[in-house]
Amino acid sequence: MEPDRALPRDWGVETDAVAALYAQSCPSLVGLLTAIGGNRADAEEVAQDAFVRLLEHWGKVGDYADPEAWLRTVAVRLLVSRQRRRQVAARGLGLLGRRAATAAPAAGLGQDMDLAEALARLPVSQRAVVVLYHLHDLSVEEVAGILHVPTGTVKSRLSRGRVALAPLLADEERKAT
Amino acid sequence: MNDLGDRLRRHVANLTPEQPAPFGEVVARRARRRRRRQAFAVGGTAVVAAAVITASTQLPGSDRPTVSGGPATSSPSPTATQRPEPTYEWSNQPSPVVLRLADRDVELQPWSYCWDGPPNREGTARGLCADGFAQTSDLDGVGSPTSVNFWFGIEDWHFQATFTELGVDCPRQNTVPATHISDQTFRLHPAGPAGRYRVDLFGRGRQGSVSASFLWTTPTDGPTDQPAADIALVSGDGDQLYAYPPEVTVQDLAFQPQEADAEITATAANGRSMTLDTKLEDHGECYAEGSLFFRGDQNPAQQAAQLGPPPFTYEVLLTLDGKQYVGTAVWPRDEKQHEAPNTTLTFDPPLPAYTAE
């Protein structure tokens, strides 16, 4: 926040606290959402929506030991829901005989294209499970809590995701030896 | 450095921007959202009034019955209802789960499902997966019957129910199967100590799987989950064998050990074997008591997978507060269906079981 700039009318005390968390956590949240969703623009939009919800619930969430975990949960749910709506729309366009836009894998120069392409081939709900479980070291129960699905569903998505990514890891192992 | 976790960490780090968009955009977004809400509130007064009336009769979040027509009290037990069975015709939408209470039916729409519809004229079937968010405060309640009967629209399905106690931090969960009492009707008995529960039904059949939930104040104690443990190390698809960072998961122990250790020995069919170390992982603040999770490195797992041909015998030496338990499994014989590479361990002596007091 720049001190010499006029603040919006509804800028309150909670806004300062959320602004500080935003500066600290938003970039990594965008990275996580880009890995899951495959698209930077969507990730930034969803991250901002999640921070809007954080502003609205700061009275309660501000007392939590880990507001970032709350934020991550909300953001991942928003992203999965958004992607699913898009898939439904894409199916509708397909039925109408129009070509639906598809997201390119989330990687660029110097980045892990193999992993990005392998992730892009997984359905978004499977991708979310794999990334949350392996990246954030969350338990199956915690991932189930974030995505609001039964633990059996998480286990089976994790299993399918791992099987799909296993050839990629095996390739890397072969290259390394 | 070929562990999936490490690779994902690098991948996400590469995707992480150095600077976020200005925070002012979040504030502006909130202002737009408020304006939209205000506009909606003005235009939708009649709708809101109707919703308030509905809310006053439905008591969302309580475990009182949600459908009028009968007393909002506990029913002593399910009785053979005189009402006709619900109907459902196989379509692209999953069947509802219908709770057949003594005085009324409560229809639950699955909030998460994967569902294959019937084939069309060309012989092509449509499959769809959907995840919903079933907030506990939005669930229907059934009061406190001694058991609950429910109906599902397709034959040859199987259901289980996971009971999660309400008002408890990081509660233990108990899962029990539902019993068939006719082709499409099931009976569910309480699980865990008597109390107020969120009950998550999970059903599976040829058409897919569904999840639906309700609230139940159970009047009696039921069975508690027995300790269970899995190991994940290798799995395969045809001739190809894949190694995973070794994991040992233990659930529903009688207590939370102060000290715990797990050492894995993997032996291939040719008799060659090796030992793999694991580390007890911390899994955040909310992890049900009696749960442990160990993880090891990827490289030793790769070596283990190259010991020789399967089957692999796993032996897990689990030490809980100084006492040793030996778990064994054979891959692929004991691999869990739909949950590869997780493989079921059997312990001797048996792991200490939790019992409700």
Do residues B154 and B88 lie in contact, with contact meaning Cβ atoms separated by under 8 Å? yes
Q: Indicate the SS3 state at residue A118.
A: helix
pLDDT > 70 in chain A, percent: 70
Indicate if the pLDDT at residue B44 is higher than 60.
no
Smallest CA–CA distance from A85 into chain B, residue: B130
Angstrom distance (rounded) from CA B315 to CA B329: 7
Indicate if the pLDDT at residue B77 is higher than 70.
no
Q: Verify whether the Cβ–Cβ distance A142 to B283 is below 8 Å.
A: yes
Average pLDDT, chain B: 81
Boundary residue ending a domain (A72, A103, A134):
A103
pLDDT at B272: 96
Which tokens go with B16?
């992480």
Strand arrangement, sheet containing B343-344:
B279-280, B292-295, B240-251, B228-237, B343-344
Tell me: do A97 and A110 sit in the same domain: no
Angstrom distance (rounded) from CA B131 to CA B111: 6
pLDDT at A92: 41
For residue A152, give the CATH number of its domain: 1.10.10.10
Tell me: do A8 and A88 sit in the same domain: yes
Q: Which range of residues forms the domain containing residue A174?
A: 106-177
C-alpha distances out from residue B286 to A16, A120, A142, B243, B249, Å: 29, 31, 8, 29, 16
Closest CA to B356 of B208, B240, B195: B195
Q: Verify whether the Cβ–Cβ distance A163 to B242 is below 8 Å.
A: yes
Q: Kindly state the average pLDDT of the residues A131-137.
A: 82
Q: Verify whether the Cβ–Cβ distance A30 to B17 is below 8 Å.
A: yes
Tell me: do A37 and A54 sit in the same domain: yes
User: pLDDT (tens digit, 9 = 90+) per residue, B80-128?
Assistant: 567 888 999 999 899 999 999 999 999 999 988 878 888 887 777 777 7
Q: Which residues pair with B328 in a beta bridge?
A: B315, B346
Alpha helices by DSSP H, listed for chain B, are 4-15, 24-43, 45-58, 298-305
> Minimum mean pLDDT among A29-38, B52-61, B169-178: which range?
B52-61
Angstrom distance (rounded) from CA B18 to CA A26: 10
Tell me: do A150 and A121 sit in the same domain: yes
Shortest alpha-carbon distance between residue A108 and chain B (Å)? 9
User: pLDDT (tens digit, 9 = 90+) per residue, A43-102?
Assistant: 998 999 899 889 888 888 888 888 888 888 889 888 877 776 655 444 443 433 333 333
pLDDT > 90 in chain B, percent: 43
Tell me: do A35 and A84 sit in the same domain: yes
pLDDT at A70: 87
Indicate if the pLDDT at residue A152 is higher than 80.
no
pLDDT at B99: 97
Which tokens go with B50?
């109707």
Alpha helices by DSSP H, listed for A38-150, are 40-56, 58-61, 67-95, 113-120, 124-135, 140-147
Tell me: do A118 and A50 sit in the same domain: no
pLDDT at B341: 83
Boundary residue ending a domain (A69, A103, A137):
A103
> Pairing between strand B208-218 and B273-277?
unpaired
Bigger pLDDT: A7 vs A34: A34
Boundary residue ending a domain (A38, A69, A103):
A103
pLDDT at A156: 77
In angstroms, how far is the first alpha carbon of chain A from the final one? 51
Q: Which A-chain residues 18-57 have CB contacts (< 8 A) with chain B?
A: 18-19, 22-23, 26-28, 30-32, 34-35, 40, 44, 47-49, 51-52, 55-56
User: Is-cis flag, bond preceding B341, omega within 30?
Assistant: yes
Shortest alpha-carbon distance between residue A102 and chain B (Å)? 19
Domain count, chain A: 2
State the amino acid at position A135 in one-letter form: L
Tell me: do A176 and A89 sit in the same domain: no
Q: Verify whether the Cβ–Cβ distance B29 to A52 is below 8 Å.
A: yes
Count of positions (residues) in chain B: 357
- Interface predicted TM-score (ipTM): 0.76
pTM comes to 0.54
Q: Which A-chain residues 50-109 have CB contacts (< 8 A) with chain B?
A: 51-52, 55-56, 65-66, 69, 77, 80, 84, 106-108
pLDDT at A12: 62
User: pLDDT (tens digit, 9 = 90+) per residue, B264-278?
Assistant: 999 999 999 999 999
Q: Verify whether the Cβ–Cβ distance A22 to B20 is below 8 Å.
A: yes
CA angle B338, B342, B343 (to 5 degrees): 105
Q: Verify whether the Cβ–Cβ distance A163 to B130 is below 8 Å.
A: no
Q: Which B-chain residues 135-164 have CB contacts (< 8 A) with chain A?
A: 162
Tell me: do A57 and A81 sit in the same domain: yes
Tell me: do A54 and A118 sit in the same domain: no
pLDDT at A58: 86
Tell me: do A129 and A97 sit in the same domain: no
